[in-house]
Amino acid sequence: MEADLQGWRLSPSAVRVIPGEAVRKGEAQGNHYFHDLYNVIATDLKAGHSSYWGLEGREHTAQVSQRQREWREWRFRFEQDDQEKLAEYAADLRASGESEQFLPAMFCSPTMELGVDISALNAVYLRNVPPTPANYAQRAGRAGRSGQAAVIVTYCAAQSPHDQYFFERRSEMVAGVVRPPALDITNEELVRSHLHAVWLAEAKVALSPDIPEILDLKRADYPLKQEIHDVINRAMLVSMTRLPMKRVLDQILASTEGRKPVWMGEPDDFVSDVAQRAPQEFDRAFDRWRELYNSARTQLMEANARSEITGLSGADRRRIKAAQMQASDQITILEQGKASNGSDFYSYRYLATEGFLPGYNFPRLPLYAFIPGEGKTGSFLQRARFLAISEFGPRSLIYHEGRAYRVMKAKLPPEVRTGDGSELATRDIFICSNCGACHDGEVERCHACNTAMAGEVPVQRTLRIDNVEAAQRWCMDPLSTVWR
């Protein structure tokens, strides 16, 4: 039970379970599968064992470090050479809390779809229908290599239109046509980010993997370091970069037989505009990092200040200590962008996630949640915006590495607090009742569908939230949830 919720628990000995009338008459019409499942477990437990205990499962996703993913592949395969490698790295594994035993089950995201070859894999369970037959072939094809038999089970969720569509048309997925991947090469954000990459190369700034080497952390608001600022703001850089950028744009336009995308005016003007705005966009791309860093520093300073107070109880001291550790943990993660362990804060990767440079990240601009590390280092989890709106909502449960965490806090940038810090600078938004488009202020007509908006009632006191922080489910955070 959560500490802030009232509840009662029935003593099991006070409850009597009696078979219903249908059972007594032998007419029970239940779900046979679950009926048998519970009976088998009950019989097993009575006999002092259960096949559902002692089965270790681990995650193999982009949220787990590359190194750890490799260890888990060895543990999962567990062939002669895997066991030798596990023995060789035994000390590293132990230090990271990873066992060196055989791993019978792995829970995978699409990281497993590519490249990883496990010949002994004999069962794949897909928790949803994959997006296309190509993904299905990739994922299902992980099992039953070299002519071995394998079983592949695909779960079709009742609430998912996609899953239900293919449940009705199974052969379209299992034996469907694998189409070559398609993408809109004239997508505005794609074009801009590629031009930015050309611009950054021409500017000849070699960025350090660590963001603290790029920003000046000694000054307020963490501006770009003077030397980087000077290089990217050279007056001649705009004219220098225009030609190489135009060359890339011409290549893109050539592939569409010169048809200009609707969002673009004159190609030359577009290139100049991107070149002129690039320094500003580059600077702005670091705003999220600044916000996360600032919030961690504020948390650390507040915890330090509280620890100075005399006469604190033991419980208070432990809470303050935990807050201090979490804050310095976050600072460490944000400061170290080593490319080797696939850190989200490796400068180039970070710039791609923020949409400034081209990257693997579609959709870009994910939301972050900080997960505390219970003795080990914590981590930042990323979710696409459309998923984060429900998964990172207040009090939502997040599952990570075999534990459940609850979203407890929103990480707010300092500017959303009003003068004395006691109130939030919320604002009202207006939603078109015809199409659902959102407007920051009162307007006469909807910007999307042109319906008259007079008399619409605003949604009051809204606040945009980009980052949240989770606490482990059974330990409550001393600070209150802030959410409007």
Q: Residues 59 to 98: which contact Zn ion by CB under 5 A?
A: none
Site track 387-426 with Zn ion (rule: CB under 5 A), x = hit: ----------------------------------------
Task: Based on the shown chain and the rule CB under 5 A, indicate whether residue 434 belongs to the binding site for Zn ion.
Answer: yes
Half-sphere exposure at residue 264, Cβ-oriented, CA atoms within 13 angstroms: 24
d(CA 311, CA 318): 13
Task: Based on the shown chain and the rule CB under 5 A, indicate whether residue 435 belongs to the binding site for Zn ion.
Answer: yes
- Binding segment (CB under 5 A) for Zn ion, from list 29-37, 56-64, 438-446, 464-472: 438-446
d(CA 235, CA 230): 10
Q: Which of 437, 432, 436, 438 is nearest to 452 (CA)?
A: 432
Place of tokens 């997508």: 187
Q: Could you say which of 446, 465, 468, 471 contacts Zn ion (CB under 5 A)? A: 446
Q: How far is the CB of 438 from Zn ion (least distance, A)?
A: 10
Q: Could you say which of 137, 190, 312, 437 contacts Zn ion (CB under 5 A)? A: 437
- Which C-beta is closer to Zn ion: that of 123 or that of 448? 448
Q: How far is the CB of 463 from Zn ion (least distance, A)?
A: 23
Task: Based on the shown chain and the rule CB under 5 A, indicate whether residue 443 belongs to the binding site for Zn ion.
Answer: no
388-409 in b/e form (b: 16+ CB < 10 A) is beebbeeeeebebbeeebbbbb
User: Token digits for 275?
Assistant: 């070149």
Q: Which of 279, 371, 366 is nearest to 329 (CA)?
A: 371
Q: Residues 226 to 265: which contact Zn ion by CB under 5 A?
A: none
Q: How far is the CB of 465 from Zn ion (least distance, A)?
A: 24
d(CA 22, CA 29): 8
Contact 428, 462 (CB under 8 A): yes
- The total of other beta-carbon atoms located within 10 Å of residue 471's CB is 20
- Which C-beta is closer to Zn ion: that of 40 or that of 449? 449
d(CA 429, CA 436): 12
Task: Based on the shown chain and the rule CB under 5 A, indicate whether residue 448 belongs to the binding site for Zn ion.
Answer: yes
- Which C-beta is closer to Zn ion: that of 389 or that of 449? 449
User: Token digits for 312?
Assistant: 């604190």
Q: How far is the CB of 456 from Zn ion (least distance, A)?
A: 10
Task: Based on the shown chain and the rule CB under 5 A, indicate whether residue 459 belongs to the binding site for Zn ion.
Answer: no
Q: How far is the CB of 433 from Zn ion (least distance, A)?
A: 8
- Binding segment (CB under 5 A) for Zn ion, from list 27-35, 133-141, 362-370, 443-451: 443-451
- Which C-beta is closer to Zn ion: that of 339 or that of 449? 449
Q: Residues 123 to 182: which contact Zn ion by CB under 5 A?
A: none
- Which C-beta is closer to Zn ion: that of 340 or that of 451? 451
d(CA 226, CA 213): 11
d(CA 438, CA 441): 9
Residues 6+ apart with CB under 8 A from 124: 139, 140, 142, 143, 150, 151, 152, 153
User: Token digits for 160?
Assistant: 């998912």
- Which C-beta is closer to Zn ion: that of 116 or that of 432? 432
- Which C-beta is closer to Zn ion: that of 431 or that of 482? 431
N-term to C-term CA, the chain? 25
- Which C-beta is closer to Zn ion: that of 201 or that of 438? 438
Residues in contact with Zn ion by CB under 5 A are 432, 434-435, 437, 446, 448-449, 451
